Each structure stands twice: as structure tokens, then as C-alpha cells.
Structure 1
Amino acid sequence: MSDAGSAPDPRFSVAPMMDWTDTWCRRFHRLLTRRALLYTEMVHANAVIHGDRDRLLGYAPVEHPLALQLGGSEPATLADAARIAAERGYDEINLNVGCPSDRVQSGAFGACLMAQPGLVADCVAAMRQAVDVPVTVKHRIGIDDQDSEADLHAFVERVAQAGCRHFVVHARKAWLQGLSPRDNRDVPPLDHQRVYRLKTEFPDLTIVLNGGLDDVPGARSHLEHVDGVMFGRKAYHEPWSLAAVDRLYFGAAQDPTREAVLDGILALAEQMRRDGVPLARLTRHILGLFHGEPGARRWRRILTEGAHQADAGPELIVQAAQACLPRAA
């Protein structure tokens, strides 16, 4: 097999974020944008093979287009996990070569793999052989002292030779020694220009820019230099910013209204009640919906205080929204 399947549109995507981008987060984001490519949290290949697949890989059809991010460094294991994911209908399989956490490093995967482009190439080749959907790689611009532009280009060239055509590039290098994962998100300087030059060097590859993006309208300017942009923390903490994505990036006629999004949230809450899913699994993702708007603090307080009650349901969301939307009163 090969990744000859139709690739999702790369122009705008929401990053894979550990403990954040679960299925309820993604279903909420789909109320804001129908076209953005959504990613799962990183799942280790061993967990896919040996763990609870319904829990780890479960999603709703509305979440498409949807990519699964895998962690791991053993080609055969990654190939098996990719095949399982593709059989479950994921639109893309992404290999994590960017996470700098101690736990990831101890497992010899994530960002430390940038030091082993040959191994990453072997992983990509094995995954492509196993599936018909695109296999992509998310990585940093460098690690530790291996951070020259020549190092980055050599990495991408080697992995591209294995058939990867789509690279998501976090425009900070990762310090694997001496910085925490939190510091790795802020301390190493951003270098968007280096990612631009990577696209110039490899014009036939799809290059998506990630890292430090916090202005959804303004980020369109990056598309003059790369094929797409990926937003992370901004999309999560200020989710209303996603409401303009389909119009700005994909030509939709208009943005969704807050009232329509609230109706969708209430429908999700009703489904959760029917299925016995605690409401808090949704409300933690929607706390930022009214960020910067009158009543936002009350919205957050009511949801935070009430969502863990055993009988919490749509009524709590209506109550919380009353300070923000007149129609909800």
C-alpha cells in the first residue's frame, strides 16, 4: 500500500495537544469550523495495538477530516498501529517527531528522533506500506546543538525519500536537556523564516507552519510562503477564533453565530446525558468560548463549579450562557 489516498486540505489545522484534543474537544471545534483539519492527542503505537481501542481511537463521524497522531520509533509497530487506525477511518496518520517531554524521550520517540532521520524514514516507509491514507510527520526545526538549517533540510530530505510528502514544522527548536516541555513552547526563539526557506528548498512538499501563531486572520499571510498553518493553544483557549476559519481560509459565505454554536453544545450535552458521559468532559473544553466578552467570567465559574455534579446536563450550560447571550436568558 501507499499514501495515495486523497489528502486533507492543509490550509488550516488544529494541533494535536496532549490532554486537550480529545473527541469532545474536537466535536466542539466542529461547531466552529467544518473545514479545518483536526488532530487527536498523541497516542503511542503500543497503546493502539494492546490498549482499549474504542477509548483511544473512538471519534464521531462529524470530526472528519481527522488525523491520528502516533508516537513510537519501531517501524513494524507503527505500521500495525497505522493500519488499525486507517481501518477505523482516519483521514491521515501523523508521526510525532516534535514532543520534547522527559516521558517521550525515555521512550526514545518524539523530538529526539530528529537525531535519527534514517529511523524516521524507516518508520514512514513501513507506515506507508501499511495504509492508503497520507502518512505525515510533525517535527521541530532542530534539537539541542543539531539545529542548523543544513540539519533541518537533511532531515526533511531523508524522510521525504521514504515517501512523506507532508511536514508540519514547529518553528522552534527543542532543547531536550535543561528545559521543561512548558519552556520548550516559549523559550527557544521562533524562526518562521526558516520554515519559509524549507518550503522554497522543497517546493513539491506540503509544508505547514506551526508555533507561535495567535492571530487567525493575520496568519493568512503565511500562506504566501507555506501551504498551511496549524494553531494550538490559541484555538483551545480562545476557541471562538476558529469561527472565522471556514470563511477566511476556505471561502465559506459566513461565520457560525454564537447562538448556533450554543445550540450545538446543548445537543452534545443531551447526547452525553443519554450515553452516561459526565458533562465535565465537554465543559472543560468550552470554558474559553466567550473569552473577552461580557459575562465570560460568570460563564466559566458556573461551568467549573457545576459540571462535576452527578446530574449536570444541558440546563447548566443554559444557565451559564445567560450572562453572555440574551437569547439564553
Structure 2
Amino acid sequence: MNHEQLKRHISFIYCAEIDEICKPLFNHTPIKVFEYSRVCQDGSRVELSNHAGHMENAFLSRAKMSRIYTPELIPENQRYLLINNWIASLNHPTQKLLLAQLHSQHELFGIGNELSVIRKHKQYYEYFHFYASSDAVGIENFYFNNLDMLERFIIYFINEAHDIIKNASKDPLVKPWRAQGFYQAIKLDDGISFPNFDKNAFIKATRLKRFFLTVNDKEIYLTKREIDCAILLAQGKSNRIISEELFISQRTVETHIESLRLKTNCDDRVELINFLLCNGIHAYLINTNKI
């Protein structure tokens, strides 16, 4: 496909929908641009963002960016990455290209100060990229003082954009091209903050209607009421307490928990709690009974 055809690719068609999903992020935090990447072992990439110009600049105008396989450059167990710091310390031939990309996105769009959150799966890596204004002061402190909120948004995004991601995965922006370490600790200044960030409003705006999970390579989802029970269950609360907090009968709670156990193929309550915590429910354990 030529450049103009690529601009009509499904990744660009979904920009408006991604922007709508990201409204809680943009309305309540200093984040200006969000990007989702799924990088497979064959080098193919699913790319989704609210900012079409940013994607075009990274993957169409600068085609060489498409041939960078980031999992080779980042330590296996890395979860959070401040991109500016990482690139500055990267001892690899791609450093020059990555520095040029940073400069370009600053000059063209005024964005930078990127934090990437990384999730490793058996067949691919997921990257959740958060961009602020290039001149945002104290943004590193904001990121690391609010990781719980960013983790919450990631779960929210994965569920709200579930169908979009599924469709985009059928036609990745970057096609397969491959045959089949670094972490810098950041010292934070607790005195810097973003006083306009209303966590309660953000929590309210990122409530889930359903929660997708993968069990033995099979996709399942939890209903809203099952999510309510799962959150309280993961907090170690008894069926009686769960029923009181949700204003439902203990029998109904037992029915929901049994449904959770069957859906997740867990043998008992302890295994179910561990499963829920390992699959991101912890992002919703935030001083609230229900998400």
C-alpha cells in the first residue's frame, strides 16, 4: 500500500472512537495523547491512538520506525518506562532514530514526556503509551504518584476498546517482517503535584460495564455484578459483607461467586482470588465498594 492508502487504514479510522474512550484520561489528567501498541514476535504491530498525526509521523512518514522491534531493547520484566530517560541511556544503533522521533513529535505536536506501561503475553507485548505536553513540569512525579490510576485506565481501555483491538489485530498497521535492558530509577520530589487531578471523578469516569479475561486461550467476560462481587472478594470480604455492601442477598452473592469460579476454571475461593488479582482486578481496589 502507498502512503495515502495507509492513511485510510483501520488504525486511522478508529482515531475518533479511541479519543472518545480516552476522554476520562484527557479530562482529569495532564495526559494529552494516548497510544496502544501490540507488538508480535513476527514484527507486526497493531497501533491505535486518538492522534492520527502522531501515528502517521511515527509509522508512515518515518517508515524505519516500523522496523524497530522494541521487545529486544527492553528488559524482560520491565513494567514502567520513562521513554526520554530510556532512549538517552540506550546503547544501541536505533538510539539515533528514536531521538529523532522524540524531536519530531515535540516540534510537530508539542507532545513528549512519555511513560510506557508494558504487559507481556505469550505471543505478543502490549504497550500503553501516555504522552503529556513537551513542556509539562513535574510530569514524572505525576506518573509515579498516580500509577494506580494509570493501571485503572489500562483495564478500562482494554475493556472499552475490546472490539476495536480485535478488529485492528486482523489487519495490523505494520505487517510481519521478522523471522521467528534497561531501567533507570527516578528520584521523585513529592512536593510537585497536579492539583487539578480529581481522583474521585476519574474513578467514576472509568467504571467498567464488563471485564474481559483470557482463560486457557479462551476469552470470557464478567458481568457488571460479577465485577462488583469480584472486587470485594479480592479484598478478602466474606459473602455476608459483600451482600451488605451490594444490597443483595447472600444467596445471590454465592451464585455470582460460583459463576466466577466456573468461568475462570478455579477450584476454590483462594485460587479465584489469586486469579483475579493476577488479571488486573487490583486496579479497582481503590477506597470504593464498586467500580
Whether these two folds match at TM > 0.5 is no
TM-score using structure 2 length: 0.31
TM-score (norm. length: structure 1)? 0.29
Greater relative contact order (Cα 8 A, min sep 6): structure 1 or 2?
2
